[in-house]
Amino acid sequence: MIDQVESTASQPVHEQISVTRITPSYWQVTFHNPPFNLFGPDSIPQFQAVVNEIETTPDLKIVVFQSDVPGYFLTHYDFIPPLSDSTRLEPGPTRLHPLPDMLVRISKSRVVSIAKLRGRVTGVGSELALASDMRFAALENLQISQWEAGAAFAPGGGPMARLPRLIGRGRAMEVLLGADNLDGETADRFGYVNRSLPDAQLDDFVDKLARRIASFDGQALADIKQAVNYASLPPDAEIAAGWDLFIWSVQRPEPQYRIGELMKRGLQTNPEIERNLNHYTEVVGKR
């Protein structure tokens, strides 16, 4: 997206997402794109394949999204590929761009979804968490945010539509406009996550809940989820508007400058920058 910055961060396409079928009715989907679990155009076909399988597997009742990259659940969009690599992708079944399409389909799927969050969760990571039915986080190390306003552009995966419904308008404004990290305690208090638990308890808690849900009748689960969706999901048009705003806003001169400055300092290559985007977006804004 930033043509003027040279970087060695781009890597050959490799398997970034794996599926573990714990039982026929309970799957774990694991993100593995070290060192920072970036999400880019090369991630989209892999995630599309997973979402397609989730939708078309009759016995599946629950899926848990997780990461095996220490310190990172899923982070922001990859800024190395040109923007055209994203904009030229064919729309998905919802007629949205593939990224918001997949998030909408996860929310609307009859399959229950849980996001298990550790470490840094921002950008696409936060948007996937918000699209999931439930979110559980590690109390000691969660750092969740929508960082984009700090770099002068709008998020594209639907948080403007989802966050006000989840945590209220004022807190949504704080998250989106403040573009700062929320720790596990604050995210729990805001309702951004269902619960923040001690890290040592997180895996067992989520696994037990997933197995419990997987033991229930699939039709009842799907019916209840659909009824909750009617009461709580934003219309697709709001998600589409957010994606269009992202594509427009990220091309303006100011975000191009700020992202370029962040790339020069080590965005996508330096753990210090990735872990502290809330600080470095403020730094590049002071000129």
Cis peptide before 35 (omega within 30 of 0): yes
Rounded to whole angstroms, how far apart are CA atoms 287 and 280?
13
Does 5 have pLDDT greater than 90?
Answer: no
Per the prediction, the chain carries an average pLDDT of 96
Rounded to whole angstroms, how far apart are CA atoms 267 and 232?
35
Provide the whole-model pTM: 0.95
Q: What is the CA radius of gyration of the chain?
A: 18
Non-local CB neighbours of 174 within 8 Å, separated by 6+ positions: none
For domain 17-203+211-285, the question of CATH label 3.40.228.10 is answered with: no
Give the pLDDT confidence of 39-63 residue by residue, as tens digits.
Answer: 999 999 999 999 999 999 999 999 9
